[in-house]
Chain A
């Protein structure tokens, strides 16, 4: 082989490996139960109503979080006697999902729930379904057109950073640390969601007059988390607090902390994996809290789709219909409330 063609390896290899990067953003313990909300019997909305056929489409599970989305949707639908769930695999890309959705729309479901590959690329499909009289519930990845959905329910990346920053700020203030050294381990730095999380984090810290002392991005994998954390710990011989964006890479971060024999600081996680929640409630490591970005949104989407299909509103709201936009608050899980969240861990 010529030297030239070998040199191309460097680029070709990079492209291929980049594809493998995103395979496991978050962990998913195989044994975990799905996140299902069972309505209490006193709730008027719990009573079986008119039969609702819900069409559901999400990308094929390319990592644990997506797998949890699909599992949750199926489990939540199973909890209702008046809901029939029709799922179609969305395939590998937006085009495949469009094709799958076209056949689904032709079957005239009462409501359509979808997590699109890409909000922009499936905007037209959303419009088409809405025009055909099928309300669309969009999960997590927004359509640009307001007319393309009836309800959008999504997580909050900026809010995650905000929540983590708030928790760290409040804790340090309570301890009376005036000039704290704060570390941050984001995920893949070039992703928009990472940048939003970091912006939220910095915004919250600024309110306390704090800032990040060192920031070492990882790649959402445990081994990269270990490497980044090792470098960070070496750079900051003394640290007060650490936010790690992702509980999956957090496995490696925690390993690195243990290997370096460090314990003078506390750590906040991100996403809300079951392992992280268990560690928080056990309270035997530096991990004291994690901020959620939960796939439970899929369960809620099914519940709300059922209400939309039956023309019902949310009981506690004055309005007679389900709202159009719901952004989930990023919740902070600590030892105190960990038990409550245990079943939401994925």
Chain B
């Protein structure tokens, strides 16, 4: 009897997340249809279409990796405004002449360690220093970019390392390596959130920190780990971006924090914590990347593009609120 009940999983649970993601898939399809209607001559070439899909994925890869980390932080009840700055610091540190002398492995190692270290500092300030995440990471945004500018002397540091530079142009089975990296991070993020004790703690800490604490979960240590995770994601993204631009500088990854937060939110992550999905966040990133692509192929100005992005964020959140309300009302009946 128990086994039966265990097997018969309640439909409610599945619906919520799947419907949300279906909505975003719908938006993606609409965007593609608009592309086909407005530029039929481009979409009539299968090679171009294949290339375009890979381009959209590739341009979404670095910000996608950052968004996975950001999603964890937001589900855990925090926010990380410093992701763009961490990327800049990691990228700049990894491309100093001294670091470059250690080769590709040294550069990758440096980027990851710098990202992790900055994330740990964020986490310590927030968990143990009891700073509001907004303040702590805002301060980190300013100071990490400052340190990056200091290290680079405000100059663009060109990567002379062929291995690093080739990451962006390498393909495996016809698919860019950057897209594989994104896929790996998303898959790992999904497993981590949905299948591990770490993910369970994240939801608990963000959903009701007091309940988590009284259930014996070490909320402070877990919060620290979430920011460290976000930092590592930034380190990975720094390598990806450095490879794409074959250089790094203090102003790189400008406003990535906003894109990552926006993508997480339209992917269904609750800004107050406790609820969110990795797949939704990925779709959020892809929607933005596809909009950029759509505006580019139609030669529309980036100002209009930003307005549309803003509109989509508002619409997504409104729809979620509406659906959430109607869902709870349904359950009450």
Residue numbers of A with Cβ under 8 A of B are 1-3, 5-10, 12-14, 16-17, 20-24, 27-30, 61-64, 67, 189, 213-217, 219-227, 230-232, 234-235, 237, 248, 251-252, 254-256, 258-261, 275
B161 within 8 A of A: no
Known: A3-B271, A214-B299, A234-B297. A17 touches B244 (CB 8 A): no
CA of A248 to CA of B152, assembled, Å: 14
Q: Can you show 12 pairs from A to B with CB atoms below 8 A apart?
A: A1-B134, A6-B134, A9-B257, A13-B257, A21-B251, A21-B254, A23-B250, A222-B248, A234-B293, A248-B156, A254-B246, A255-B246
Q: Which residue of B lies closest to A63 (CB)?
A: B154
**Are the CB atoms of A221 and B251 closer together than 8 Å?**
yes
Interface string of B290-310 (1 = CB under 8 A from A): 001100111101110000000
Docked complex: B38-92 residues within 8 A CB-CB of A:
42, 45, 48, 51-52, 55, 58-59, 79, 81, 84-85, 88
The one of A21, A28, A234 that contacts B55, using a Cβ cutoff of 8 Å: A234
CB distance from B36 to the nearest CB of A (A): 15
Chain B residues within 8 Å of A5, by CB: 134
With A226-B245, A231-B292, A234-B55 as contacts: A9 and B134 at CB distance below 8 Å? yes
B141 and A220 contacting across the interface, CB-CB below 8 Å? no
Cβ-neighbour of B258 out of A13, A189, A235 (below 8 A): A13
- Determine the chain B residues whose CB is within 8 A of the CB of A237 once the complex forms: 42, 45, 48
Residues 127-160 (chain B) with a chain A CB within 8 angstroms? 132-134, 138, 141-142, 145, 149, 152-156, 158
| Cβ-defined contact, A64 with B155, below 8 A | yes
Nearest CB of chain B from residue A24's CB, rounded to whole Å: 5
Find chain B residues with CB under 8 A from A23 CB: 145, 149, 154, 249-251
* Residue in B169, B241, B246 whose beta carbon sits within 8 Å of that of A251 in the complex: B246
Judge whether B155 and A9 touch: CB under 8 Å.
no
Q: Would you give the shortest CB distance from A180 to chain B, in whole angstroms? A: 15
As a 0/1 sequence over residues 218 to 238 of chain B, the CB contacts with chain A under 8 angstroms (1 = contact) are 000000000000000000000
B261 CB-CB contact with A under 8 Å: yes
Give the residue among A67, A223, A231 with the most B Cβ atoms within 10 A. Answer: A223
**B30 at the A interface (CB under 8 A):** no
Any A CB within 8 A of the CB of B272 = yes
Q: Is B165 an interface residue (CB 8 A)?
A: yes
Q: Which residues of B contact A224 (CB under 8 A)?
A: 252, 254
> In the bound complex, do residue B296 and residue A214 qualify as a contact, i.e. CB atoms below 8 Å apart?
yes
A235 touches B299 (CB 8 A): yes
| B110 within 8 Å of A (CB atoms) | no
Q: Least Cβ distance of A236 to chain B in Å? A: 9
A219 touches B254 (CB 8 A): yes
Give the interface residue-count category, chain B: 35 or more
Question: For chains A and B in complex, what number of residue pairs have CB atoms within 8 angstroms?
Answer: 167
Q: A5-B134, A63-B154, A235-B297 are in contact. Are A226 and B254 (CB under 8 A)?
A: no
Q: How far is the CB of A278 from chain B (nearest CB, A)?
A: 11
Q: Is B168 an interface residue (CB 8 A)?
A: yes
**Interface residues, chain B, with chain A CB atoms under 8 Å away:** 42, 45, 48, 51-52, 55, 58-59, 79, 81, 84-85, 88, 132-134, 138, 141-142, 145, 149, 152-156, 158, 165, 168-169, 241, 244-255, 257-258, 261-262, 271-272, 292-293, 296-299, 301-303
Asked if A255 meets B244 with Cβ closer than 8 Å, knowing A21-B254, A24-B155, the reply is yes
Contact of A30 with B252 in the complex, beta carbons under 8 Å: no
CA distance A12 to B167 in the complex (A): 34
* 8 Å CB contact of A222 from B51, B58, B245, B298: B245
A221 to B152, CA, bound (A): 13
Across-interface contacts of A261 in B (CB, < 8 A) = 169
A102 to chain B, nearest CB (A): 28
Interface contact B253-A223, CB-CB below 8 Å: yes
State whether A251 and B299 are in contact (beta carbons under 8 Å apart), knowing that A1-B133, A3-B272 are contacts in the complex: no
- Complex contact A219–B251 (CB within 8 A): yes
Contacting residues, chain A, for B133 (C-beta < 8 A): 1
Q: Can you name the residue of chain A whose Cβ is closest to the Cβ of B253? A: A223
B298 to chain A, nearest CB (A): 8
B245 contacts A6, C-beta separation under 8 Å:
no
| Cα separation A220 to B254 with both chains bound (whole Å) | 11
Contact (Cβ within 8 A) B249 A222: yes
Q: How far is the CA of A190 from the CA of B244 in the complex (A)?
A: 25
Contacting B255 at CB < 8 Å: which of A2, A14, A63? A14
Q: Given the complex, which residues of A lie within 8 Å of B252, measured CB to CB?
A: 221-224
B155, B244, B257 interface centre (most CB from chain A within 10 Å): B155
Inter-chain CA distance A248–B85, complex, in Å, is: 19
Tell me the minimal C-beta distance from A294 to chain B in angstroms: 17
Question: Do B299 and A215 have beta carbons less than 8 Å apart?
Answer: yes
Residues A13 and B253 in contact in the complex (CB < 8 Å), given A234-B51, A248-B156: no
Contact A14 B250, CB 8 Å, known A223-B241, A237-B48: no
Given contacts A1-B134, A3-B272, A230-B59, A27 and B155 within 8 Å (CB-CB): yes
Q: In the docked arrangement, what's the CA distance between A67 and B247, Å?
A: 20
| Cross-chain contact B296 with A251 (CB below 8 angstroms) | no
Q: Are A259 and B251 in contact (CB under 8 A)?
A: no
List, in ascending order, chain A residues with CB within 8 A of B55's CB: 230, 234, 260
Asked whether A234 lies within 8 Å of B296 as measured between CB atoms, the reply is yes
Bound-complex Cα distance A200 to B165 (A): 34
Q: Which residues of chain A are within 8 angstroms of B165 by Cβ–Cβ distance?
A: 255
B138 and A256 contact, CB distance less than 8 A: no
**Which A residues touch B81, using CB under 8 A?**
9, 13
